[in-house]
Structure 1
Amino acid sequence: MGDSERIPVGIIGASGYGGVQLVRLLADHPKLELVYVGGESSAGKAFSDLYPHLGHYTKLVIEPIDLEEIGNRCRVVFLSLPNGLACDMAPALLAKGCKVLDLSADYRFSNLDTYETWYGRQRTDRDIAETAVYGLPELYRDRIAEAQLVGCPGCYPTASLLALSPLLKQGLVVPESAIIDAKSGTSGGGRQAKTNLLLAEADQSLGAYNVGRHRHTPEIEEVCSDLAGHEVLIQFTPHLIPMVRGILATVYATLRDPGLVRDDLITIYQAFYRSSPWVKILPSGTYPQTKWACGTNLCYIGIEVDPRTDRVIVMSAIDNLMKGQAGQAIQCLNLMMGWEETLGLPQLSFYP
């Protein structure tokens, strides 16, 4: 496939960490070509003014957001924007025939009342939102393949749901007993200047935040409820850890059958993810580390059973900017285009 046959792609909101990851991944994708980067505050600047290390790769200039123009030039558009903006743009882009992948929360919820409650934004695009598919390929691969609009999951939900899904889908645990204890690197907070993300604040320190009220909670609960077949509430506590990339989610849940041992669960997980090339189930006694996933679209999962408490402990490690954001969006697009879902995505980290 020559350059002239590549699919033209645009990114609205390319100046953040999610956007620059997409630019980086598109550079290596054999069937996609980045033709447009758009933004409000940085319009008119060369993309390399924001990210000088890419100056030798791209001469693109950040353009104002003109949906008509974008729809004419692009077949695929990534919306890498703060919550509450994509829902104003996606309808016009879909009307122009574009495939749209939203990296914010706007199209993650099948129940928009939940979105409005947690994100405080009234919605006028309910008909469009009903067509959106939740972009977790390991659960909704077939639906993503047919979709025009995908709401890409948050980074915490990706790590948490990949750890929990086999347990809930197979009815192996008491759903209400599930507790997610997760840690994220500082890049999860975005590129905007924030006091709590300053090196002097975040380094040499570890703390929880948004306890009992993190916005990823209802997103996790909606998918868990879908898997379990009834409404499920989940206890989710996020922590900020002094590193740039990575999420480690440790999930605890009470087993329905206390006779299950670790190797039973490893076999169940291997079967559940047998056609999921990006999920790696680790051997007995091996627990994942974020560094293993860094710079890749992989999710590493380790499993343990505590027979004393009849609990299963599942550990899940991803790169929050890759499988937790831009990499997963490309994975979804590969499915939407009928390509291999591994196409153009890195599978090996640089280690250490």
Structure 2
Amino acid sequence: MPTFVLAQSGETVRIATFAAPLSRDGPGLLLRDIVKGEDTQIAAIVGVIDHVAPDILVLTDFDFDAGGAAMAAFSNTLAIPYPYSYSALPNAGQQTGLDLDGDGFTGDARDAFGYGRFLGDGGMAILSRLPINETDVIDLSGTLWRDVPNAKLPMVDGRAFPSEQVHEALRVSSTGHWMVPISIGDQTITLLAYSATAPVFDGPEDFNGLRNRDELKLWEAVLDGALGAPPTMPVLIGNVNADPSDGQGLRGGIADVVTRGDLQDPMPRSAGGVMVADPTHTGDPALDTADWSDGGPGNLRVSYILPSAKIAISGAGVFWPAADDPMAALLGEDGFAAGPHRLVWVDIAVP
């Protein structure tokens, strides 16, 4: 099997994903907070990114604006700004005109294609030090849920929930599904970037649980060639919002994907996750990427970077320092200065 090659031997490219809480309560507020420079959470997020210093960074909770002003302003707050960036209007906040949650009303956050209080709420952003081939980006965010191979839409008593009309119109992607080619020397990797809905906050119909699973099925269809020729060197990346061993949701989906033969799981680890392990969980706490220990589901692995099996890997990690590590100061005294999620990184190596 061919191996990924960079322009010069000895180089590495660090790829990272971070579900940092860079969404605000209304349009334009993220840009306001970035420009003011007084938001301690943004400062902590910037500190983590500066320390890990990824060459390619996927942010999965970043408010979208049509001009990319917030994305550019955020990049400029970093120690070394990124020369390339990509974003697109997410499904989050795009109203459907339908009653998606079956509460008898339309127009609220749960009635958008993806949960969102306003257009662009909680989108995604990609920052890169390597060229992004924007003209070759494929956006699958408009794919209808019912068109995903082997999709399972919510039903109640044998009837479509909340209605057949919703099943006919609803997109599977709650935020976005982007195939983003990035040039590295004379090679191209293709990010399969997305942020899935949380598999909770629904009822017995399991609307969000089923959707979370089928958002991942869309990428499986891409990798299997069901939607055309698959990319040569894909990197599945983002917030899958599912743990293969613990937490809610249909865990078998991500459990199957991390063991696919055409992908590899670098199993990024941290010392901090081990130190605050949940005693009732069965998964390896070193792999956890989020801390919801305060009244939530505990610590889970929800963010992933799964490169093609053709790519050589030289290292991987989760930025979650042990409490006695000086770098733990970047996460604040309580560990939540940059939010509940931890940045995940993988290094692609030249053989």
Q: Under a length normalisation based on structure 1, what TM-score does the superposition of the two structures give?
A: 0.31
The structure with the greater share of residues assigned to helix is 1
Q: Under a length normalisation based on structure 2, what TM-score does the superposition of the two structures give?
A: 0.32
Higher relative contact order (CA 8 A, sep 6+): 2
